């Protein structure tokens, strides 16, 4: 893609409200228990940070890197998970925190790996959900927004490592000359 512009899709305020709503639900679900948030790097770092600050239950954070994309807007379907070996989640109430669920391939692979490590429970939380693109079945427990099949950036989410710093979510629109 040579030239493109970014069109605002979800504002900072709307994201903030969605994060609050998810946190309220988590606080209800785990009011007397601790939770372990597993942030999927890099895309979910902003979302995880915001969510963490709204959680009232005892909370721990871990980071795992899951990549399937490379520098293109097409998923390779090839999932690489790092820092998994050192991760101890036995007996924990795990919530996997993702930026976007697209085909669902990454999160499915991730969930399967984590289940092997004997957590007490495991849930999936995603800021954005592209249902239309799903290739595998996966249950989502907390979702911020359902979006259409468009390539988005901002709020931690990148296009070829760029635009993670945008405070809102925008759509990449190609400019055709
Ligand atoms: P899946 O395995 O196809 O569900 O891939 C999900 C991952 O692909 C997300 O965690 C993102 O890292 C990346 N991804 C999917 N859609 C987008 C997008 O619109 N913008 C940026 N990254 C995306
Ligand atoms: Mg990701």
Ligand 1 lining (C-beta closer than 6 Å)? 43, 68-69, 75, 98-107, 151-152, 157
Q: Is 102 a residue of the active site?
A: yes
Backbone φ, ψ for residue 115 (5° rounding): -60, -35
Catalytic residue of the set 32, 102, 141, 146: 102
Note the pLDDT of residue 106. Answer: 93
pLDDT score of 142 more than 80:
yes
Distance CA 90, CA 165 (A): 34
From start to end of the chain, where are the E strands? 4-10, 35-41, 59-67, 80-82, 93-101, 121-129, 142-146, 152-153, 169-174
Note the pLDDT of residue 71. Answer: 47
How far, in Å, from the CA of 177 to the mean position of ligand 2?
31
How far, in Å, from the CA of 15 to the mean position of ligand 1?
18
Closest CA to ligand 1's atom 20: 152
How far, in Å, from the CA of 65 to the mean position of ligand 1?
13
Note the pLDDT of residue 74. Answer: 52
- Atom in ligand 1 nearest the alpha carbon of residue 98: 10
Ligand nearest to the CA of 74: 1
How far, in Å, from the CA of 48 to the mean position of ligand 2?
12
Q: How many other CB atoms are found less than 10 A from the CB of residue 130? A: 19
pTM of the model: 0.94
Q: Per-residue confidence at 1, pLDDT binned at 50, 70, 90?
A: confident
The answer to whether 134 and 126 have CB atoms below 8 angstroms apart is no
Task: State whether residue 38 is helix, strand or coil.
Answer: strand
The answer to whether 169 and 154 have CB atoms below 8 angstroms apart is yes
The answer to whether 101 and 77 have CB atoms below 8 angstroms apart is no
Distance CA 32, CA 30 (A): 6
Distance CA 10, CA 74 (A): 22
pLDDT score of 72 more than 70:
no
Distance CA 145, CA 134 (A): 15
- Atom in ligand 1 nearest the alpha carbon of residue 109: 2
């Amino acid at each position: 893609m040579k030239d493109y512009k970014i069109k605002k899709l979800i504002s900072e305020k709307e994201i903030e409200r969605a994060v609050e709503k998810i946190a309220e639900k988590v606080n209800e679900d785990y009011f007397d228990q601790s939770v372990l948030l597993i942030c999927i790097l890099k895309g979910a770092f902003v979302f995880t940070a915001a969510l963490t600050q709204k959680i009232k239950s005892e909370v721990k954070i871990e980071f795992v890197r899951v990549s399937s994309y490379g520098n293109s807007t097409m998923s390779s379907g090839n999932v690489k998970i790092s820092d998994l070996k050192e991760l101890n989640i036995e007996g924990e109430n795990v919530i996997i925190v993702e930026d976007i669920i697209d085909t669902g391939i990454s999160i499915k692979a991730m969930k399967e790996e984590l289940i092997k490590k004997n957590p007490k429970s495991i849930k999936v939380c995603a800021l954005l959900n592209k249902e239309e693109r799903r290739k595998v079945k996966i249950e989502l427990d907390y979702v911020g927004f359902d979006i259409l099949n468009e390539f988005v950036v901002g709020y931690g989410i990148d296009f070829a490592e760029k635009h993670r710093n945008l405070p809102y979510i925008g759509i990449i629109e190609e400019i055709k000359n």
